[in-house]
Chain A
Amino acid sequence: MSLINYSSREINVKIVYYGPGLCGKTTNIQYIYDKVSPDTKGKLITLATEMDRTLFFDFLPLELGTVKGFKTRFHLYTVPGQVYYDASRKLILRGVDGVVFVADSQNSRYDANIESLYNLHENLAEYEMKLEELPYAIQYNKRDLPDALEMPALEEELNPKHYPAFEAVAVNGTGVFDTLKSVAKGVLRNLS
């Protein structure tokens, strides 16, 4: 939910990284945190378990700078991927302005991707939202792994409507900013 404050001249928008467990959502956010200049980022909040799995969410506020007199800020969230944290995922989607779906390219995670994407549609529907109406991009992560499926096979199953799609290796940053830029621009275009 974008919040525009005309008095303090601020715009805040919310982008959520969705996807199955261990697909690399937190890795995306961590890479962004490491790369953007210190004066544009806030504190990276991670609510994780001892095993480094996201328990509730990761949160990173980023300041875009001043655009036409408005200080513009992105709030990046990740959801916990594991199936049994559905209540948390639902809460984090509340008021979302744009979505990145991080898919795991490995053959062994094929079904997990499909299940998570289905779950995304279901949870958005609870807020009377549709993915088609949101700025959205899909990122195929872990392209460097030996059992990564071919892109056409992934596209056919996970992205039949051909939303913007990016190949990525989030651990070294490949595709991370391209994905974020695509959704961030879509979110700001929606304001005008």
Chain B
Amino acid sequence: MVRTNWKVFEEDYWAISTTLQELLRNSNSTSVILLDKTGQMIASVGEEPRFDMHSFASLCAADFEANAQLAKLIGEKDFSTLYHQGSNESMYLARVANDIILVVLFDKKTTLGLVRLRTKKAVDSLGAVIKRLYNKLEYENEEYSEFDEEFTAEAELEIDSLFSD
């Protein structure tokens, strides 16, 4: 079961970003993206992509989930990694904890072997950060709550102005 609601706090975000930066540098890849299984992007590092990152994250999550269903059909729990090979650009996806997916985009400047090796190490580091974050969410207190009536009123005004014919 996926977490129904979750938050990324400042210190966890920086811990995640640092790990992604290390992976980017050590694997010589072009971009590294972390997202959750519902298709929401958590963090990304590397080259500014030429595509819409949020659409990309949603498709990656769908890809991973569809493959998990295929895995079940053949008697596997899931596929913990996926690899998509293109003629110039390729993708490597890996599961981090239960709800999180790490995506590495790379080109011919590196090799699948190196990407796979470095990703495995990053998955371990990220797993620890995510576990810490989940623990924090279990004991979350009021100080993080910034969403009061004022927020709701302001949001409703924005909704009215954005969604109009």
Q: Which residues of A contact B (CB under 8 A)?
A: 1-8, 12, 14, 32, 35-36, 40, 42-43, 45, 47, 56-57, 59, 61-62, 64-65, 67-68, 70, 72-73, 75, 77, 87, 91-92, 94-95, 127-129, 173, 177, 180-181, 184-185, 188-189, 191-192
Contact = CB atoms under 8 A, between A and B. Distances in A.
Contact of A94 (B2, B6, B147, B151): B2
A64 B2 CA distance: 25
B77 interface: no
Contacts of B52: 42-43, 61
Nearest to A37: B162
Q: Is the interface of A mostly helix, strand, loop or mixed?
A: mixed
A21 B51 CA distance: 30
A75 B40 contact: yes
Contact of B156 (A35, A42, A127, A185): A185
B152 to A, nearest CB: 5
Contacts of A61: 52, 54-55, 58
Interface string B1-27: 111111111101110000000000000
User: How many of chain B's residues touch chain A, expressed as a range?
Assistant: 35 or more
Given A3-B36, A45-B59, A177 B14 contact: no
B152 A14 contact: no
Which among B1, B43, B150, B155 has the greatest number of chain A C-beta atoms within 10 A? B155
Contacts of B48: none
A1 B7 CA distance: 10
B66 interface: yes
23 contacts: A5-B8, A6-B8, A6-B13, A7-B8, A7-B13, A8-B13, A12-B41, A14-B40, A59-B55, A67-B155, A68-B146, A68-B147, A72-B158, A73-B54, A91-B62, A92-B62, A94-B37, A95-B2, A95-B38, A128-B1, A173-B165, A184-B163, A191-B147
